[in-house]
Amino acid sequence: MPVIYYKDSALATHILKKCRQLCTPFRPPIWLLNQHVQTIVSNFLLPKPAMRYDREYLLMRDRGVVSLDWALVVDRRIRETSSVLIIIPDLTSDATSVSSLTQAASDRGFRVVVFNRRGHANSFLTSPKLQGFGDPTDLRQVVKYIRGMYSRANVVAVAVGTGSGLLLSYLGEHGSSAHISAAVCISACYEAQEVLGKQLRSFYDFLYLFRLKKILCVHARALSDYCDMRAAMTSWTFQEFDENLYCKIYGHKSIEEYWERNNPMRDVDDIAVPLMCINSLDDPMFSNDFIPYDLFRCYPNLFLVVTDKGGHCGFLENISGISWADRLAVGFIEVLLDAQLKMK
């Protein structure tokens, strides 16, 4: 059974009683017990559901552009009042990588949209700026835009992997005015500066840095006058990459100043939204040493679900269905929305 960390409250009692997925153990087959198998199969080998998306480009205040991929689902249950689920994929991923989550939510009647950072997911760059790790400015404008489009609907969010850094930053910075009814972080990244530190510690770190460089290379012409392109492309640590790219673009004097503005945990005490974080103790990318267990014991709106197995963004019980974490994320949000509806 998963281990749940929370503070006793009426909300916690309701969730534990109504969220059936919390009582469902994560049981992968023997060949999926290994953390690396879970991570590699889920992120690189597993065929994703054939979801169709309609891309929309949204202009930001500084003339930059982000892209929104709206899931195209023929479902009579989708109405003007249907809840809108914003999915924030991993920093180097796109809508395809979260198709199983999109399908899980769409099957339950959610209107799903995938938020892509500016310049990511094969979108063009109209300003000399890539979004910082935990800079919630663009996401804020997207949430307001969606609320304007669907004023009668609840807006909820699920973030995956390093995408959780952006969601945690947003929820903390905007607190009770976040305009999000419920949120989930899968394989949450907490102390990002420690995780993405001075040394590349594993194959995954090398691959992750390579994919970040690939994104930068696509926009080399647009960014070359605003950062040290050669130094960024030849960097061998995340710190060097951030110093030569993001610190230059944002005008930060040091990497410490950059992370002071982008650390996902900087305003975590101000999160007012019901939030569930799902982590595996064998995550090969984010060490469980950085999981802030005490945080979830202090705040009645924060919940942590921990499993022994699952890898990074894995949680697969087979190779043909929706992951255990995806089902839990959708189930948690449904329980929260139902509770909020009954309180009106």
Give the residue numbers marked as catalytic: 283, 312
C-alpha 277/C-alpha 306 separation (Å) is 8
116 close to 174: Cβ distance less than 8 angstroms: no
Which long-range contacts does 47-54 make (Cβ < 8 Å, 24+ apart)?
48/96, 48/97, 48/99, 48/100, 49/99, 49/100, 49/102, 49/103, 50/99, 51/95, 51/96, 51/99, 51/102, 51/103, 51/106, 53/95, 53/114
What is the SS3 assignment for 163?
A: helix
Token reading at 15: 């969730």
Cβ-count burial of 127 within 10 angstroms (0-12 exposed, 13-18 middle, 19+ buried)? middle
Token reading at 261: 């503005």
What is the SS3 assignment for 156?
A: strand
